[in-house]
């Protein structure tokens, strides 16, 4: 008979990589929605580019992984079942929001899932409130920063090129937008693949495979590949919501959105803050839209997006809590 703990570890790793894959196609829109909507790139070309750069970005840093793996809960209260239930809660919410074309946050989903599973296993005393406050603060501040930076950056571009005709301006920025989309895809990989890296490393530490929280190279590679493959699978529903329905964008707007968003995301990743790439780029699109006029924003779509944002942590936590209660009698704690 195989070791039950080893079987659980394998299940956790498979689930975490599945989450990374889903995160890839769920969040493809973060990197390429604007360049697709402005016709700077075709859908296939944009997805291929995003897949490669997601992989590259996922390989360069592990600071966010450490925040996810060590900053949320007391390691003594983390079991394989806790981690598996947390991932299941995140996967469920990601699939629901993908089905309805809502750009919700995978960062919020995995954090909510882990919190819900820990609450079911050990109660609130096992949570690191200081770490959670840091994470929640980052997830609140980043959309505000995205909106402000997108608005200001767009105003600067308008003023700098005020003597250019709109057609000439957009022709030039259509080429530049390919570079900004690549920058955004790289930053997305840097931030988002690390969530699964942190979860898998947490599981390896719990099992005893590693003695300290250090992300193994094979974990980096596995998560990077999973996210790259997921990105290659595409995610047209969310691309349509972000790139077409929310704000009508021209190449100059797309360049501004992608460049400003990538700067916010990479800045946060450099200090280990797990911001939501979804929140950052969506709020940056809002800032760019507001720089045009209030009516440029589809406020009905904006309302749906905000509702998904607000529900993500509690919904994924509730599902993870329920998964823990349902699975633990059969798979053990």
Round to whole Å and give the CA distance between 223 and 314. 25
Higher per-residue confidence, 34 vs 239: 34
Domain span at 274: 4-328
- Domain annotation covers residue 207: yes
Higher per-residue confidence, 9 vs 240: 9
Residue 243 binned pLDDT confidence (cut-offs 50, 70, 90): low
- Domain annotation covers residue 265: yes
- Domain annotation covers residue 34: yes
β-bridge mates for residue 290, sequence order? none
Structure tokens at 91: 């996967």
Round to whole Å and give the CA distance between 256 and 262. 10
Residue 278 binned pLDDT confidence (cut-offs 50, 70, 90): confident
- Domain annotation covers residue 51: yes
For the stretch 64-105, pLDDT in tens is: 666 666 667 766 667 888 889 999 999 988 888 777 777 677
279 three-state secondary structure: helix
- Domain annotation covers residue 220: yes
- The pLDDT of residue 1 is 45
Residue 239 binned pLDDT confidence (cut-offs 50, 70, 90): low
Q: How many domains does the chain have?
A: 1
- Domain annotation covers residue 99: yes
Crossing angle between the packed helical segments 251-270 and 277-292, to the nearest 10 degrees: 140
Which residue has tokens 């969310």?
238
Q: Are 168 and 55 in contact (CB under 8 A)?
A: no
Is a pLDDT exceeding 90 seen at residue 322? Answer: yes
Higher per-residue confidence, 284 vs 233: 284
β-bridge mates for residue 247, sequence order? 297
Percent of the chain with pLDDT over 70: 84
Round to whole Å and give the CA distance between 245 and 50. 21
- Domain annotation covers residue 333: no
Is a pLDDT exceeding 60 seen at residue 114? Answer: yes
Average pLDDT, the chain: 80
- Domain annotation covers residue 213: yes
């Amino acid at each position: 008979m195989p070791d039950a703990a080893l079987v659980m570890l394998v299940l956790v790793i498979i689930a975490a990589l599945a989450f990374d894959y889903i995160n890839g196609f769920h969040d493809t829109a973060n990197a390429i929605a604007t360049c697709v909507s402005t016709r700077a790139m075709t859908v296939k070309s944009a997805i291929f580019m995003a897949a490669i750069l997601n992989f590259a970005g996922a390989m360069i840093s592990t600071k966010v992984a450490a925040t996810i793996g060590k900053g949320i809960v007391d390691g003594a209260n983390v079991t394989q079942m806790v981690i598996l239930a947390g991932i299941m809660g995140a996967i469920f919410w990601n699939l629901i929001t993908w089905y309805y074309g809502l750009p919700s946050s995978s960062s919020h989903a995995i954090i909510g899932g882990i919190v819900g599973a820990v609450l079911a296993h050990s109660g609130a005393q096992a949570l690191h409130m200081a770490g959670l406050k840091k994470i929640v603060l980052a997830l609140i501040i980043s959309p505000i920063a995205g909106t402000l930076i997108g608005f200001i950056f767009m105003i600067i571009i308008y003023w700098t090129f005020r003597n250019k005709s709109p057609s000439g301006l957009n022709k030039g920025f259509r080429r530049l937008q390919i570079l900004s989309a690549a920058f955004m895809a790289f930053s997305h990989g840097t931030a988002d693949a690390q969530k699964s890296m942190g979860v898998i490393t947490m599981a390896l530490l719990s099992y005893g495979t590693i003695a300290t929280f250090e992300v193994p190279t094979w974990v980096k590679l596995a998560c990077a590949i999973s996210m790259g493959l997921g990105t290659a699978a595409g995610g047209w529903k969310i691309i349509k919501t972000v790139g077409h329905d929310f704000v009508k964008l021209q190449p100059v707007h797309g360049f501004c959105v992608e460049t400003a968003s990538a700067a916010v995301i990479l800045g946060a990743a450099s200090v280990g803050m797990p911001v939501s790439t979804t929140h950052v780029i969506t709020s940056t699109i809002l800032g760019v839209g507001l720089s045009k006029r209030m009516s440029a924003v589809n406020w009905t779509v904006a309302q749906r997006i905000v509702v998904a944002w607000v529900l993500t942590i509690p919904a994924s936590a509730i599902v993870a809590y329920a998964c823990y209660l349902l699975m633990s009698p059969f798979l053990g704690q």
